[in-house]
Structure 1
Amino acid sequence: MRLSRYFLPTLKEAPSDAQIVSHQLMLRAGMIKQEAAGIYAWLPLGLRVLKKVEQIVREEMNRAGAVELLMPTIQLADLWRESGRYEAYGDEMLRIVDRHKRDLLYGPTAEEVVTDIFRAYVKSYKDLPLNLYNIQWKFRDERRPRFGVMRGREFLMKDAYSFDLDEASARKAYNRMFVAYLNVFARMGLKAVPMRADTGPIGGDLSHEFIILADTGESQVFCHKDLVEMGAPGPDVDWYGDLQPLVDQRTALYAATEEMHDEAAFAAVPADKQLSARGIEVGHIFYFGEKYSKPMKANVAGPDGKDVAVHMGSYGVGVSRLLGAIIEASHDEGGIIWPDAVAPFDVGVLNLRVGDEACDAACDKVVAALEAAGLEVLYDDTDNRPGGKFATADLIGLPHQLIIGPKALAEGNVELKHRATGERSVTSLDAAIAQLTGKAAA
């Protein structure tokens, strides 16, 4: 992609009402534009990252055995009346009346809709276990939307829902999602700590939040330091085997949100292992048994032929919120430092003298080679000064930057920069191509 043909409206300064780093940098990098309080248009650069985050989430859900569908954003109020949540949910629900005077709502979550889908088609325990997930826009009418995509009113969310015959099976489904979430966040370069959490309006008696530690986090969290350094289980686990040991490895160590914090239990953690910090919630999982299936009559015929209400869980990931969390955890004075897996482009090619025959030819060669190797390239072919090109590449977080200027090129060289470390190296054009593509130089 040539930058001269791209839409990248960067800003030198962030608006004064942008209070945290992620909000400031997303605005400055031309990723989002605020349309109303807590409601954003996703501009091309932001959308590229959003789609990559979404795809990682999708791949890990599929790997763990969940099945994707797409549910509507507008839901029937009558479904929520069945579950008993229509009045109980509160002012965050945006209630709507259509031209036929039917009560509707803009879904803040989808337990009722997915339960209605399940009960319409699944009648036997032989069709269980089942996990259905949805990546869809949600709306919660926050009283004080703030911090950009970290606490907006409209947001993209992955919500999965498990259906099982009994509690034992449902807890196995919960464990699958617990482990899948560890993989999701690790693939994005994040250290997410699972913490025992309050169930809130979703309900149930078992819940974990996945927390990214960051100074700008909204809540205080408490945990054993070793949890922060634990690696992800990886993709090759036996998803329908016994995952309890992997879950126990994390839950055996103290970790709790402020609402669930137990001072006495935390005091039992060795002093040098106690960690009290601010945290950002990026995922939340729940087991709530028959909370929705009983009132909504989501039953299946059990092995004895008798109807039984299924046991359910729900599992949310704030897909759009994750972009803010990643930036909060990974930035410097120059701008965003994207992990490779979610960067909007893999490589930035910076032509320091557009119009120079040798520079143009070298840039054309490297862009063609990198794109042929499957890399996504942003080619800065604008007539901006070199300093401006460097600043833009760092601001938007291009992880690998190939700098081509007439002086170095005359000596047969180009410069490679690694955004995360700031490390620079001078090498030949062919060697740079080989390094970036992972191929041996011809």
Structure 2
Amino acid sequence: NHVEFEGPATGQVMYEWAETPSKAEVGAEARLGKTGRSVAPPSVLLLVKRGDDKLLKVAAEAVQNLTALDIDILLHPELSAKMKHYFGVDSENIKLFEPLLVPGYGGSHLKPRGMTKAQLQENLEKHRDRYSSSDDTDAGPDLICTLGGDGLLMYASTLFQGPVPPILCVAGGSMGFLTPFQQEEMVDAIATALGIVKDEETNESSIDEGPAYFPGGGVEPVAARPIISPSYTDEEGSQWSGLTEHPDFYDDQYLKPKFKFGAYNRICLSMRMRLDCRIVNREGVVRARFSVLNEVVIDRGSSPYLANLECFCDDVHLTTVQADGVIFSTPSGSTAYSMSAGGSVVHPAVPAILVTPICPHVLSFRPMVFPDHVVLRCYVPDDARADASVAFDGKARRELHRGDSVQIQMSAHPVPTINRMDHSSDWLNSLKRNFNFNSRVRQGPL
């Protein structure tokens, strides 16, 4: 559940379970790995859209089925209390989830309000232990499942400003552009993503030790949590820079479709890049820091005047913005606010940062796309008529005073979302389903 970029990546990434035996005893013996050491049960952080009783019922039924497979379910205290009170869902496999403060991130960069220095230090130590300890019991969830809309995925992203576990998105919102899984397949999808298989004869479940991230066949199970790399070496020693076409999928023993969720024990991931955004004052002190999945928007806020901003790319002056504002977007966010403002629609696997003006008072300011390795900076000059405002994924709005700047670059920690088919199929299907992409009555023949 520790995923990092080691460099720009454009190809498809997947992980595969090195071994999924057909039979295994469920219980204490199933918790002994091949090395004989105790293996913690797999854990899933379940997030559910608030205020929807139908989704709460779906989630309660899913929790009952998943805990029966000896899977630990992490729930927010409020959600856990509702499930227990309204549906009688209670199990020793249900754990409470408390988000930990990520060092250096958030609106109060030094210390959140109401938190003492001792509490802050304790939280920081817990966060360091979560990602540096070899103890599986404190390594965070193995999987995140969101039951809701696209906004819930962005909320999940805010819970993990550093490394993010794979996220399985189940549709429960109004649009569902980023939620390819249906509610009726939720339990099976989670089990498949965790490498749990049911024996056809006994209906028992078996759990493998852990995922081996895809470099080819014959990979040994690993006890440590590996890092997904954008490039691999297969058995014959040839180097791949991303999975765009794999010969094994065309072997006679395999059936179409080319990519199918969980087929051949391989799970396709979309590595959705995030933006690492920092608010810096004129003295060079970082006031706040956020990781955003969709976009960071710098606008005029409540001011009646145009936003006056100076934009730089790698410390080279890019342009002067005189507009309602400007959007810095990820490829995932290219179909959100940026698209509404006239920006390009970009495939989620393209490593890029989009710059889209909002109602510029000029005819020649066009949307632009930059490579992911650049550092962009937007500065409020001293001669601006008014202060500006900045929002991160539509939340955490902050005032930008004269002399303040926002520094934007690619984050080292992407959001890995699990695809139902593959990243192109899911994305194109969403474009057609939600936006009627290029839909027109076909011209008849002569």
TM-score norm. by structure 2 comes to 0.23
| Structure with the larger helix share | 1
Bigger Cα Rg = 1
- TM-score, normalising length: structure 1: 0.23
